[in-house]
Amino acid sequence: MSGLFPARRSGAAGQAPSLLLALETALPAPTVALLRDAEPAGEISLPATRPLSEQLLPGIDALLALCGSTLEEVDAFAVSIGPGSFTGIRVGVATVKGLAFGGTPPVAPVSTLTALACAAGRPGDTVAAVLDARRGEVYAGAYELTHAEPSCVLPDGLYGVGDLAARLPPACLLVGDGAPLLADASSAALGETLRILAEALVRPPAFQVGRLGHAFLAQGSGIRAEELAPRYLRRAEAEARRMGERLDPPPLL
């Protein structure tokens, strides 16, 4: 699973969490999920029409009540740390830090792109998760899905649309709001093997954040809540303007 969890540590196998709360707030439609022994206990989507900061905690309370559980019973957290919406990532990370503050529950930081790819594909698929980063760039990563762990075939990064089209593996399934940007450029490079999955057909990925996080924690690689950090892949535009600097360019891989 190398490369799928940015804050990964080395260590011996640990104890898998019994009740894990997973948050996915980096994508346009935030979701939260509760997993019991790596199986879905419940999952809800939050409306994109209201500020996330106003509804995330009430949404978590509603999910726990729906599943007949309490926050005190949660023994681990998983959260998508990006890339994606800067505001959504900040709110999700800050919420997990607040919920775990003063306690010992381990936290699993999960790549948003990995979770999205796993939510969209099935074992045997090669899936590229692509998010619109504006200015002709996209956040993207590609993975081969198996019944066990996804294998990274293109690392998470900030790519120019044309550059990414040339790097995508053949027979690739594209998912995410950046996928349509690649349609013309990728079709020229990959021909009819290219497939784009409509967002409406993608299962809300909070459960996949939890499933990936559960595997991470079972290996003894959890981090403390205070160590949790966003993974933007690009600096915020407001910060760059304040410092009088250019935004980060696409990586030269």
Q: Which domains does the chain have, with CATH numbers?
A: 19-112+203-235 (3.30.420.40), 113-201 (3.30.420.40)
Q: Torsion angle of alpha carbons 192, 198, 201, 205, nearest 10°?
A: 110
Per the CB < 8 A criterion, the answer to whether 118 and 208 are in contact is yes
Q: What is the pLDDT of residues 31-43, one digit of tens each?
A: 999 999 999 999 9
Above pLDDT 70, what percent of the chain?
Answer: 82
- In this prediction, residues 232-243 reach a mean pLDDT of 56
Residue 202 CA to chain centroid, in angstroms? 13
Q: pLDDT higher for 123 or 195?
A: 123
Q: pLDDT higher for 183 or 224?
A: 224
Residue 20's pLDDT is 97
Cα 208-210-215 angle, rounded to 5 deg = 100
Residue 182's pLDDT is 81
Q: What is the pLDDT of residues 91-140, one digit of tens each?
A: 999 999 999 887 788 999 999 999 999 999 899 999 999 999 998 899 99
d(CA 34, CA 69): 9
Average confidence score pLDDT of the chain: 84
- In this prediction, residues 231-247 reach a mean pLDDT of 55
Q: Please give the structure tokens belonging to residue 159.
A: 């790519």
